[in-house]
Amino acid sequence: MTRIDQTFARLRAEGRKAFVSYIMAGDPDTATSLAVMKGLPGAGVDIIELGMPFTDPMADGPTIQLAGQRALDAGQTLEKTLAMAAEFRKGDDRTPLVMMGYYNPIYSRGVDRFLTDAKAAGIDGLIVVDLPPEEDDELCIPAQKAGLNFIRLATPTTDDARLPKVLQNTSGFVYYVSITGITGAAAPEAADVAPEVARIKAATDLPVIVGFGITTPEAAEAIAGIADGCVVGSAIVKDIGEGRPVAEVLARVAALAEGAHRG
């Protein structure tokens, strides 16, 4: 079992939902993002998604696009992102780490080298938004052989004909994108999301986590209440982008986590 599998087993036993947070590695600089990262578990985060900055983040809205650009401008690289994970692991061997981003930086590094380095750094899973199931031989299957979960996105446009293909080599959890569009867009309504979550859960035993557009503790509670948990990214990244102190960012995260755990 990966740390992700262990975390969901523990949460089920405790009767709690998962709170997943996203930050962009290296935003606004490596030291600050590492400080936020180290504080996330204490703020109630169950799984950390660590963004890999990339020059052409097609699925991301302005908030995360700007975060990636800030990180790149500050000199963040895939090497430094892996080093951040390794540094985090020195003090936390429990919290799952999921690297999220696009295939280009992984391809440029070389898949075999990347997977070896990611495993050594303590990475537990990958979300690579621009690799469809038709390309599973490229990264998904090698990642799973290396002991990493490969987490797939399902969306409102993933119909019943497409869903089995999306799920076939997915592990860890399914990330349901609650709205059509980019990150940080309109807030999802639990009543609209619930039937879609139920449809996915009928097709898989994996946990279903819902993200995109969740910005308040109340929204986190509502969405977590109809799924196995929720993801918050843009709301946290926005606070970091505004230059708020680390302690203030983590206080916002704690409020969101509390809402999700009530779900």
Q: Which of 42, 61, 249 is nearest to 51 (CA)?
A: 61
Of the residues 27, 46, 60, 239, which is catalytic?
60
Which strands, in side-by-side order, build the sheet including 152-154? 149-150, 125-128, 97-101, 47-51, 18-24, 229-232, 208-211, 174-177, 152-154
Which residues neighbour 194 within 8 Å (Cβ) at sequence distance 6 or greater?
A: 226
The secondary structure element, H or E, covering residue 165 is helix 163-167
49 is catalytic: yes
Torsion of CA 122, 124, 129, 134, to 10 degrees: 120
60 is catalytic: yes
Of the residues 5, 49, 124, 239, which is catalytic?
49
Which residues neighbour 146 within 8 Å (Cβ) at sequence distance 6 or greater?
A: 115, 116, 118, 119
Provide the annotated active-site residues.
49, 60
